[in-house]
């Protein structure tokens, strides 16, 4: 009887492990960043494009003219990227809502939010960056 209970417990544990691993696998596959759909990320969120290409945005330098303020210059926003490709790191600064080609992909920055308002300070962790990455 003890062997039967042990066998049932092992089967239940095995089923739980199989279900959990298949669920994680499906979740990973659903996170596709290279397609025709824009995605939104936070600064310092590491994104894997493929096995040899990862990136994160580790800085947002926002000099856009805040809403409700008169400015002589519209300003811009710059994003600091850390791109790891084949174990090499590329640090680059991308200005404004622009696009660039790297490693066989077209990277387009579509939006950086929130937009500054008055004198309100925006913390790095409060920014959201909407991007589109497509394969060339």
Measuring CA to CA, how many Å separate 33 from each of 46, 53, 75, 98?
12, 12, 29, 18
- pLDDT tens digit string along 97-129? 788 888 888 999 999 999 999 888 999 999 999
Q: What are the domain boundaries of the chain?
A: 1-30, 33-135
Query: What is the fold, at CATH topology level, of the domain defined by 33-135?
Result: Tick-borne Encephalitis virus Glycoprotein; domain 1 (2.60.98)
Q: Following CA atoms 29, 31, 37, 41 in sequence, which dihedral angle do they give, to the nearest 10 degrees?
A: -170
Q: What is the DSSP letter of 125?
A: G
- pLDDT of 28 > 60? The answer is no
């Amino acid at each position: 009887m003890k062997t039967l209970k042990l066998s049932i417990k092992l089967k239940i544990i095995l089923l739980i492990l199989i279900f959990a691993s298949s669920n994680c696998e499906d979740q990973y596959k659903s996170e596709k960043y290279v397609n025709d759909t824009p995605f939104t990320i936070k600064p310092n969120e590491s994104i894997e494009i493929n096995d040899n290409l990862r990136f994160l945005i580790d800085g947002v330098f926002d000099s856009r003219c805040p809403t409700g303020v008169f400015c002589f210059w519209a300003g811009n926003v710059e994003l600091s990227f850390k791109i790891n490709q084949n174990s090499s790191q590329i640090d680059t600064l991308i200005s404004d809502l622009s696009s660039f080609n790297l490693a066989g992909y077209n990277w387009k920055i579509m939006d950086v939010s929130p937009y500054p308002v008055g004198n309100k300070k925006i913390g790095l962790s409060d920014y959201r960056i909407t991007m589109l990455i497509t394969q060339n």
